[in-house]
Structure 1
Amino acid sequence: MLEAYSRWLLQQRGKVLSKSKLGEVITYSLNQWEKLTAFLKDGRLEIYNNRSERSIKPFVIGRKNWLFANTPRGAKASVTIYSVIETAKENGLNPFQYLKCLFFEDPKNPQALDDLMPWSQKIPLTCRVFKS
């Protein structure tokens, strides 16, 4: 289906005004083709981003609470910690316990950082969320 869509986009590109809405959509699709088809190269990627959008919904709703992010440094800090927390949740970890683990670990070498990734099997059981 994606190959057929790609062929159609390429055929239509020359027939549609680039400044029209359809032309903009065609240009956008072609420019983003690698990202659009990334899920084909890695089976862990999902076709839809619904789960990602659900993850950021509380952040968007509470954006007035994020007024400290009124500088580039504040925004970067905000997005970094938020990404760590949401990634922990997606990997079945309790974010608070996981952050404690991260803050109190002192890896002696860069390789030890792999053991601290949320998907690592070496994360302590105290960080894991067990569903009954």
Structure 2
Amino acid sequence: MLARKEELSSYLDNGSLPMTNSLAERTIRNFAVGRNNWLFSGSPRGAKACGVLYSIVESAKANGLIPYKYILHLLKELSRHAGKLTSEILEQCMPWNPNLISICQ
């Protein structure tokens, strides 16, 4: 510990640094619990679908959106543009798009 004193006390020099990684650990806790559930998804495709859905939900939550409203918005927008998706349309659907706050909160 003494050999790492400078690194361990870096949060004292910068108030924006957290003292612990508790927030990060709490954030991934649901993923760790869910990982055991994915063992019983029935197939690799089912497990992949669970992982994709989990990523969408967690990304929505991380960006302050209500996951249910965000998924509804995605389904409507992506089906409306089916067959002609462009990078601009996909960028508008990303959870960090500021326009989604009024739609998905």
* TM-score, length basis structure 1: 0.50
Name whichever of 110-119 and 71-80 sits farther off.
71-80
* 1:92 aligned partner: 64
1:118 equivalent among 52, 73, 95: 95
Gaps of 5+ in 2: 5-19
The structure with the larger Rg is: 1
Aligned length: 83
Measure the CA separation in 2 of the matches of 1:61 and 1:55.
11
SS in 2 for 1:69: coil
**Cα pair distance change 1:103/1:68, threshold 3 Å:** farther
1:74 Cα deviation after fit: 1.4
Tell me if the contact between 1:102 and 1:116 (Cα under 8 Å) persists in the aligned partners: yes
Gaps of 5+ in 1: 6-47
Measure the CA separation in 1 of the matches of 2:51 and 2:23.
17
RMSD after superposition:
2.8
Measure the CA separation in 2 of the matches of 1:85 and 1:126.
16
Measure the CA separation in 2 of the matches of 1:103 and 1:68.
26
Percent identity for Structure 1 against Structure 2: 43
